[in-house]
């Protein structure tokens, strides 16, 4: 009988995997997006042709305000072995997602004795459409990676929860934290397990887990400082009153369980609420009452260990990403429920026992699986490209400034300049405190030769965000055009101090050439080429420097390199100077 049950369980897990493959199949051909993919992956020079120096850089750097060296290292390994291809990341994410489903199955077996009740929960985790963001967005691969190590740490701990210190569990925990900082919630989850499930004293349990808490404090501090330096922390007091911020906080707590149970209006971007005639949408005013109702139900059934532990698992794991310390421009996001949704599943698991007939439970589960898979497949098409992402967002909410800004970026890439300018202007109208569309519209004006308008936009972007490296770089370019090299140099120095990019170093090298500071020019051009060995302009400019300071042979060698990369000026220089 046990053997038959095990075979049935295996069959259903395989069935879930095949349904998931069908749901995510189309996502394997999705492109990289401008939604952080260029920063973390496609334009991240630290993960291209990695070496020991780049490895040290990865473990000492943050990307988009996040310290996640293990995830970044895995990105580099994927690129090193398989190339910079979006399909590589999408397939890898999907396979890791299935692995997490298996790890969840093993975890639930420790909490729920009947495998019949575990299968529906695993199916919900694997097939739920809210998981699509984590699986289908390349930059969210870190979310799946850290969850793998997080669940591995829990499983390792459950093998021997009485052990004072387990090196295996601690190692998994460290790797999880270095994959994504939200793993700092793990010691609190383990504390809840010891107190609720094992009935141990919380003081004794806390002492046992003290090394984990110390690591959490360290990683949490690094993360807050990184977010602050990247200017990702949001000051909601500028836009909302204290009461309104309280409503937003309540909404962020209830959003995930409501959407997990009723995933009706999913989006790739949930902006902070707009006030129409000074008021929010009704759901924000209902949120405190919904939260109170959920809290009452948990209290009412607190003697059920699964209900209480599941509720605690959810609130603990969602805690680091709630808007108590506001980060970014989204009030909520689907990927945050990837791990915390496990708590929702655990808390709701006792409801499955109400279905007494195994056949009825399995039929209901299969029906639910197919429905979720169909919805998930639809959501994967949303992540097909930048255009489909922001079209979906604006279909749900036309007042999202970032959506209009990113739609403008896509239009500019396609050469639709007038459309791009209009989209950037719309973003500015919706959120005059948003720096990026000013920078992007300034680029449009700069390309059209409208220096005065461009400088006005760059000035506004820098006023709103003083550490905006791109705005400083772009303003410097305008000053170079009008011959104001001293002011341009100041902006480039500031931009490079924030983000030492290859273009900024090249342009500063150009200024040093104009002012005949040859050694400084050579140093910047060397640094630029170290970041991007295919920078044709840097080769051409370095050739000019070497021709002037070292000699014709050295200069002509760089002219040849630039010409080989297609630089027309270098080809002319070879004819003129290097016969």
Instruction: Give the pLDDT confidence of 373-427 residue by residue, as tens digits.
Output: 999 999 999 999 888 998 899 988 888 898 999 899 989 988 999 999 999 999 9
User: Do 373 and 367 touch, CB atoms closer than 8 A?
Assistant: no
- Six-digit token string for 390: 């922001």
What is the average pLDDT across 485-496?
92
Output the CA torsion sign for 70, 73, 77, 83.
positive
Whole-number Cα distances in Å, 291 to 294, 347, 350:
5, 15, 20
Angle at 75 between CA 320 and CA 502, to 5 degrees: 100
What is the average pLDDT across 106-123?
90
Whether the predicted pLDDT of 235 surpasses 70: no
Q: At what angle do helices 502-514 and 536-549 cross, to 10 degrees?
A: 30
In angstroms, rounded to a whole number, what is the distance separating the alpha carbons of residues 21 and 58? 33
The pTM assigned to this predicted structure is: 0.86
In angstroms, rounded to a whole number, what is the distance separating the alpha carbons of residues 558 and 541? 9
Whether the predicted pLDDT of 88 surpasses 60: yes
Whether the predicted pLDDT of 233 surpasses 60: no
Q: Kindly report the number of other CB atoms within 10 A of residue 409's CB atom.
A: 19
Residue 86 is predicted with a pLDDT of: 94
In angstroms, rounded to a whole number, what is the distance separating the alpha carbons of residues 146 and 131? 15
User: pLDDT digit string (tens) for 422-460?
Assistant: 999 999 998 898 899 999 999 999 999 999 999 999 999
In angstroms, rounded to a whole number, what is the distance separating the alpha carbons of residues 156 and 167? 10
Grade residue 363 by pLDDT with cuts at 50, 70 and 90.
Answer: confident
Highest mean pLDDT: which range of 165-179, 227-241, 564-578: 165-179
Hey, what domains does the chain have and what are their CATH numbers?
A: 2-387 (no CATH), 400-484 (1.25.40.10), 500-579 (1.25.40.10)
Selected residue with higher pLDDT from 232 and 53: 53
Residue 4 is predicted with a pLDDT of: 41
- DSSP-assigned states of every residue in 210-236: HHHHHHHHHHHHHHHHHHHHTT-B--G
User: pLDDT digit string (tens) for 258-299?
Assistant: 999 999 889 988 888 877 778 888 999 999 999 999 999 999
Whole-number Cα distances in Å, 21 to 8, 134, 145, 256, 374:
20, 15, 19, 25, 11
Selected residue with higher pLDDT from 60 and 93: 93
User: Do 492 and 476 touch, CB atoms closer than 8 A?
Assistant: yes
User: pLDDT digit string (tens) for 308-350?
Assistant: 999 999 999 998 888 666 556 788 999 999 999 999 999 999 9
* DSSP H helical ranges for 264-357: 282-300, 305-318, 337-348
User: pLDDT digit string (tens) for 184-193?
Assistant: 999 999 999 9
Selected residue with higher pLDDT from 408 and 163: 408
In angstroms, rounded to a whole number, what is the distance separating the alpha carbons of residues 92 and 78? 9
Rounded to 10 degrees, the C-alpha dihedral 90/92/97/100 comes to -160
Whether the predicted pLDDT of 232 surpasses 70: no
Q: How far is CA 100 from the centre of its chain?
A: 19
Give the burial class of 565: count Cβ atoms within 10 A of its Cβ; 0-12 exposed, 13-18 middle, 19 or more buried.
middle
For the chain, counts of helices (H) and of strands (E): 29, 2
User: Do 472 and 440 touch, CB atoms closer than 8 A?
Assistant: no
Angle at 366 between CA 363 and CA 369, to 5 degrees: 150
Give the CA count within 13 Å in the CB-facing half-sphere of 281. Answer: 9
Give the CA count within 13 Å in the CB-facing half-sphere of 292. Answer: 6
Please report, rounded to a whole number, the percentage of residues in the chain having pLDDT higher than 90.
60
Residue 237 is predicted with a pLDDT of: 57
Give the CA count within 13 Å in the CB-facing half-sphere of 389. Answer: 28
User: Do 34 and 268 touch, CB atoms closer than 8 A?
Assistant: no
- Whose tokens are 């655990």? That residue is 346
- Whose tokens are 């972007």? That residue is 461
Whether the predicted pLDDT of 140 surpasses 50: yes
Rounded to 10 degrees, the C-alpha dihedral 227/322/31/461 comes to -40
Tell me, letter by letter, the H, E, C secondary structure of 431-448.
CCCCHHHHHHHHHHHHHC
Whether the predicted pLDDT of 162 surpasses 80: no
Q: Three-class SS of residue 331?
A: strand
Give the CA count within 13 Å in the CB-facing half-sphere of 463. Answer: 9
- Whose tokens are 């970041």? That residue is 531
Give the CA count within 13 Å in the CB-facing half-sphere of 311. Answer: 18
Residue 179 is predicted with a pLDDT of: 94
User: Do 135 and 93 touch, CB atoms closer than 8 A?
Assistant: yes
In angstroms, rounded to a whole number, what is the distance separating the alpha carbons of residues 445 and 455? 9
Residue 274 is predicted with a pLDDT of: 79
Grade residue 202 by pLDDT with cuts at 50, 70 and 90.
Answer: very high
């Amino acid at each position: 009988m046990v053997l038959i049950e095990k075979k049935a369980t295996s069959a259903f897990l395989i069935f879930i995997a095949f349904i998931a493959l069908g749901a995510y199949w189309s996502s394997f051909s999705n492109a990289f997006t401008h939604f952080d993919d260029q920063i973390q992956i496609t334009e991240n020079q630290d993960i291209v042709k990695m070496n020991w120096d780049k490895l040290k850089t990865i473990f000492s750097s943050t990307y988009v305000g996040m310290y996640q060296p293990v995830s970044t290292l895995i990105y580099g390994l994927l690129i090193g072995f398989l190339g910079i291809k979006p399909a590589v990341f999408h397939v890898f994410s999907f396979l890791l997602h299935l692995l997490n489903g298996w790890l969840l199955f093993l975890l639930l077996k420790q909490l729920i004795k009947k495998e019949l009740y575990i299968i529906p929960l695993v199916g919900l985790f694997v097939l739920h459409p809210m998981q699509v963001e984590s699986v289908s967005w390349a930059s969210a691969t870190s979310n799946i990676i850290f969850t793998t190590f997080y669940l591995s740490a829990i499983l390792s701990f459950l093998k021997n929860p009485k052990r004072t210190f387990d090196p295996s569990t601690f190692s998994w925990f460290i790797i999880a934290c270095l994959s994504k900082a939200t793993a700092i919630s793990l010691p609190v989850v383990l504390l809840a397990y010891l107190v609720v499930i094992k009935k141990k004293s919380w003081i004794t349990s806390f002492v046992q887990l003290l090394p984990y808490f110390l690591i959490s404090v360290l990683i949490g501090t690094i993360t807050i400082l990184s977010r602050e330096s990247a200017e990702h922390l949001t000051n909601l007091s500028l836009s909302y009153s204290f009461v309104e911020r309280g409503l937003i906080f309540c909404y962020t707590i209830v959003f995930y369980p409501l959407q997990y149970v009723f995933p009706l209006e999913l989006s790739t971007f949930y902006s902070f609420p707009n006030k129409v005639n000074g008021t929010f949408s009704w759901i924000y005013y209902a949120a405190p009452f919904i939260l109170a109702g959920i809290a009452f139900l948990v209290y009412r059934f607190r003697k059920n260990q699964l209900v209480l532990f599941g509720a605690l698992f959810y609130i603990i794991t969602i805690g680091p990403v709630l808007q108590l310390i506001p980060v970014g421009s989204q009030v909520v996001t689907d990927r945050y429920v990837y791990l915390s949704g496990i708590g929702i599943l655990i808390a709701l698991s006792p409801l499955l026992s109400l279905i007494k007939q195994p056949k009825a439970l399995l039929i209901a589960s299969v029906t639910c699986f197919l429905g979720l898979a169909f919805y998930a497949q639809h959501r994967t098409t949303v992540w097909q490209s930048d255009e489909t992402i922001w079209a979906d967002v604006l279909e749900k909410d036309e007042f999202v400034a970032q959506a209009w800004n990113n739609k403008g970026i896509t239009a500019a890439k396609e050469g639709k300049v007038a459309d791009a300018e209009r989209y950037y202007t719309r973003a500015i109208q919706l959120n005059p405190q948003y720096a990026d569309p000013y920078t992007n519209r300034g680029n449009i004006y700069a390309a059209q030769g409208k220096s005065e308008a461009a400088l006005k936009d760059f000035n506004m972007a820098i006023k709103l965000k003083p550490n905006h490296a791109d705005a400083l770089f772009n303003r410097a370019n305008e000053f170079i055009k009008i011959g104001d090299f001293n002011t341009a140099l100041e902006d480039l120095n500031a931009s490079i101090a924030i983000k030492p990019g290859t273009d900024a170093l090249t342009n500063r090298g150009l200024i040093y050439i104009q002012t005949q500071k040859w050694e400084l020019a050579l140093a910047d051009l060397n640094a630029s080429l170290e970041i991007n060995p295919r920078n044709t302009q840097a080769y051409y400019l370095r050739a000019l420097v070497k021709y002037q300071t070292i000699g014709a042979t050295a200069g002509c060698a760089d002219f040849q390199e630039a010409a080989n990369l297609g630089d027309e000026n270098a080809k002319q220089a070879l004819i003129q100077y290097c016969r």
